[in-house]
Structure 1
Amino acid sequence: MTSSQRWSQRNPKLFLPLAAALWWGLYQTLIPLSEALVAALPVARDSHLGGALQFFFYDTPKVLLLLTGVVFVMGAVNSSFTPERTRALLAGRREGVANVMAATLGIITPFCSCSAVPLFIGFVQAGVPLGVTFSFLISAPMVNEVALALLLGLFGWKIAALYLGLGLAVAIVAGWVIGRLRMESQLEDWVRDMPRVDAAVADSRMRLGERIDAGFASVREIVGRVWPYILAGIAIGAGIHGYVPEAFMASIMGRDAWWAVPLAVLIGIPMYTNAAGVIPIVQALLGKGAALGTVLAFMMSVIALSAPEMIILRKVLKPRLIATFAGVVATGILLVGYVFNLVL
């Protein structure tokens, strides 16, 4: 336990406002600090390189600060949402209602696509219907608190709310469709044959100091795992921001070309990153004139249909069910892209 954690345990009510004030103070220095760093370099501010460097120097601490703050708060709040408790909330629920509940739980539970196999096995053992399980597995990585907080901080509440509604709709409808197809036979045999277990409800009574510790643990676990993807995403975004002509980006990701949305989905699927890593790329694409629906389709495909997640899920699903899952989700994402390019 670090000295800051020991102090927060002894003074939890004082620690929180001081930490919030420090976070806000650091956040306010980001623009002048990034401009000062570029000015200190032998680079013209209005050059391609100057613009790319300012984007990188500004967005890197901004995204990391947003991510750290959100993960800390949600880690403290989510300390009672263990996998066992989540399974207990979903087990025995009627399909339809359960799909909505599962997708909503995916927003507030701290699980990502890396947790796909153990979560999937746990849900099957607890008797959660297959379609409901998929609603959760789609929503948890795609519509999580990190994605929403970063979208809110970078683009405002309208874009964040739009993404929330779209992501929930895709997760709910895709899970319901998969449930209607009755594809339980497409689970790997060893998964189907596992004995059912009762989903125990974890005790959620924790003191404030313990919840602060849970927040620190989430920051170490999540930020420690995703920061390389954040740097990679911001570096790509900085390159797009500084060097890619607006006319070129608008031509391949604009609203006029019918193939822009499926192309964005196909580009997104092989990428291995998460919401924190892809949002800086999204920011740069929108700044260069890419259409909102196309960019949202790209972002959703990166997070919900990544090739590594498909490989992980192959351990528990047969190829036909993986293909059905990918096809249903991709169809929903394509519809989202086309509809919003049409109406916005």
Structure 2
Amino acid sequence: MFEAFENFANWLTFDILAISASSSLGKVMQFFIMDIVKIFFMLIIIIYFMGLLRFHISPEKVRDYLQGKSKTFAQFMAIILGAITPFCSCSSIPLFLGFLRAGIPLSIVFTFLIASPMINEIAVIILVGVVGWKATLMFVVSGAIIAFIGGRIMERMGVEKHIFNYDEIKNAKLVATSSMQTDKSWAVMHKYAVVEAKKIFGELWKWVIIGVGVGALFHGYFPQDWAQSLGGDNLLAVPMAVIAGVPLYSDEVGIIPLVEAMLLKGVAVGTTLAFMMSIAAISLPELLILKQVMHWKALALFTTIVAVSIMLVGLLFNLVL
């Protein structure tokens, strides 16, 4: 199937547009067309089927399910639910407050907060086609470990004293909602999935185009020697990648084309995935949103834990891949 996308891109770029295949512009256009078609095609299919799954999941049900479970089990479930639920940095505050009102321990709240943007199910499926299933599996496992350990550390460091109005929020009455669908017929599920797909696609398409555009420019014009200097032997490459990712904002799906271009240029896998993780988990926009509910000390601790964990994972990737 991917070969068909490549053949279409080659035909449109080199035959119809008559751009030389050996030129930098030709490489840029071929990469851009191929990735736009490929990612949009996969997005439409994946988010539709994920919409069918999300038909049965609501934030309220997530909170209710995690209540009363052991912390270890609840953290693992928080990681799984974070990976399959459509939450991102823009919904961090209501999620954070809702979980606290539900009486869920902070370790579980922060585990979910880290896992949700980092282990994006759509990005993970697309990532398999870019770096292979082994590297993707390592990426998922690493993200889960970061979320698990990060949640535990945040709780043990007593960050509740740095959360604004923590006692008031925790003691607030959790209002029950009726957001779950009662009609489970296929027609209703299909309609829900279509609406969900349109909504998510509407939020992602611009980031995909930006990501593919940047990735295409990187693929066509970024110097090969400079890219290879970011290989696994450069111990500073991973920290630099994490720092570079913090000011940026993009959904993981949007950054995958750049990840693909970086890998094609010879940038080490660990360096590339560390860059992707930092954008997803500790981007500046997300930190600014979280600053609305917690003191800067808690935010600094959260950022440090996640950043250091990502750096260690990136260095490990560079050693074993």
**Which TM class, normalised by the smaller chain length?**
over 0.9
Alpha-carbon distance, 1:214 to partner = 1.7
1:164 and 1:98 map into 2 onto residues whose CA distance is 18
Q: What do residues 238-275 of structure 1 show as CA deviations (whole Å, max 9, x unaligned)?
A: 01111112221111x21112211110000001111011
Gaps of 5+ in 2: none
Match of residue 228, structure 1, among 206, 216, 228: 206
2:286 aligned residue: 309
- Residue 103 (structure 1) aligns with: 79
Question: 2:296 aligned with 1:325, yes or no?
Answer: no
Q: Summarize the alignment of residues 79-228 of structure 1 with structure 2, pairs less than 5 Å apart.
A: 79-189=55-165, 191-194=166-169, 195-197=172-174, 202=180, 206-228=184-206
Residue of 9, 19, 37 corresponding to 2:12: 37
Q: Which amino acid aligns with 1:214?
A: Y
Q: State the partner residue of 2:221.
A: 243
Does structure 2 retain, via aligned residues, the 8 Å contact 1:108–1:145?
Answer: yes
Helix, strand or coil at the partner of 1:80? coil
Q: What does residue 21 of structure 1 align with?
A: none
Partner SS, residue 193 of structure 1: helix
Q: Which amino acid aligns with 2:69?
A: R
Q: CA deviation at 1:53?
A: 0.5
The TM-score normalised by the length of structure 2 is 0.94
1:38 partner letter: T
2:56–2:181 contact (8 Å) kept in structure 1: yes
The letter for the 1-side match of 2:244 is I
For residues 182 and 146 of structure 2, the distance between their equivalents in structure 1, rounded to whole angstroms, comes to 30
Asked whether 1:343 is paired with 2:311, we answer no
Cα distance in structure 2, aligned partners of 1:151 and 1:131: 28
Q: Is the 8 A contact 1:79 1:204 kept in 2?
A: no
Residues 111 and 148 in structure 2, CA contact (< 8 A), matched pair in contact too = yes
**Residue 265 (str. 1) matches residue 205 (str. 2):** no
Q: How far apart are residue 220 of structure 1 and its match?
A: 1.1
Shift of 1:75: 0.7
Contact 2:49/2:193 (<8 A) preserved = yes
The letter of the residue matching 1:30 is F
1:274-322 CA-partner distances (Å, limit 9, x unpaired):
1111111000001111111111111100100110000111111111111
- Spell out, residue by residue over 1:24-76, the C-alpha distance to the aligned partner (whole angstroms, 9 max, x if none): 7xx66422221111122242111111011000010001111111111110011
* Cα deviation, residue 203, structure 1: 5.7
Answering whether residue 257 of structure 2 is matched by residue 280 of structure 1, we say yes
Q: How large is the Cα RMSD of the aligned pairs?
A: 1.7
Percentage identity across paired residues of the two chains: 37
TM-score (norm 1): 0.88
Contact 1:80-1:204 at 8 Å conserved across structures:
no
Query: What is the alpha-carbon distance in structure 2 between the residues aligned to residue 111 and residue 317 of structure 1?
Result: 19
Q: What is the CA distance between 1:205 and its match in structure 2?
A: 6.0
CA distance, structure 1, for counterparts of residue 304 and residue 32 of structure 2? 36
- The answer for the alignment partner of 1:6 in structure 2 is none
